[in-house]
Amino acid sequence: MSINFPLLLVLAVLISGVLVLLDLLVLAPRRRAAVSAYEGSVGQPDQSVVDRLNKEPLLVEYGKSFFPVLAIVLVLRSFLVEPFQIPSGSMKPTLEVGDFILVNKFAYGIRLPVLDTKVIEVGEPQRGDVMVFRYPSDPSINYIKRVVGLPGDHIRYGSDKRLFVNGAPIPEQLLGKASGVLGSAVLYREQLGDVEHLIRKETRRNAEPSREWVVPEGHYFMMGDNRDNSNDSRYWSDPQIADEMQGMVPDENIVGKAFAVWMSWPEPKLQNLPNFARVGLIH
């Protein structure tokens, strides 16, 4: 069962806020009136009675304690920064399984929590950005990939595993070998837009036929840096989506721009502690 955390957070803020407001407008005046009436009816008020009459209900205490904390978390998570953990190796070598990353929610516009409606334009995704988004076929799942195609771009991925954007090959420089799923892989330094980053390709995986796509307006073409082990725009298919939209990420599915790794914990177990060796900015 998928839990809608943003909705639960909004409801928690709403309920705690209502309790705070109820106490401010109704319950607190009643308590003060009760204390005043008691003090006026006796010559020497008993402090224990005054304290009892002035005591806040337990729910109000909880509401007043949690409201500011929950409100701050809601603002930070909805409009500024949200943490995520990398669950797969599709973005190797840029991101490893177990990396904890920070995502800038402000980079691509301010959106309302839960509704995800953009209310203020701030910026647009750029080619080479590492972006978190909701999977088009199941928006309850968050994906992270690199922006390869912008609206209007013509994308081709050749049988030689070379990437072309608008007819031009994306520059890549061979760096050397790395361990791979099928025995060995090769690392390249790729220049995608203004971003220089690493990609990896399996040397023993059969090449696929060349394919081409045209990115519609308001959509983006996404690929993983682990080119032969990434479920991305090259492969997504949904019978409920028009052919020209297959594999594309619509603007309304964007969550934000991944910008930093702040911790790594590949195996969350007591004997395997988190480490900070990979802390740094994401390129």
Tokens standing for residue 15: 């309920």
Positions annotated as catalytic residues are: 90, 145
- Letter for the amino acid at 254? I
Phi, psi of 13 (to 5 degrees): -65, -40
Provide the β-strand partners of residue 104: 81, 257
DSSP 8-state class, residue 117: -
Rounded Cα distance, 18 and 238, in Å: 42
Q: What is the DSSP string of 93-135?
A: TTS-TTEEEEEESSTT-EE-TTT--EEE------TT-EEEEE-
Residues 6+ apart with CB under 8 A from 163: 148, 155, 156, 157, 169, 170, 190, 223
Rounded Cα distance, 34 and 30, in Å: 6
Rounded Cα distance, 88 and 100, in Å: 12
Closest CA to 111 of 102, 124, 103, 120: 120
Q: Dihedral sign, CA of 249, 214, 152, 225?
A: positive
CB 130, CB 124: distance < 8 Å: no
Q: What is the DSSP string of 15-56?
A: HHHHHHHHIIIIIHHHHHHHHHHHHHH-SS--HHHHHHHTPP
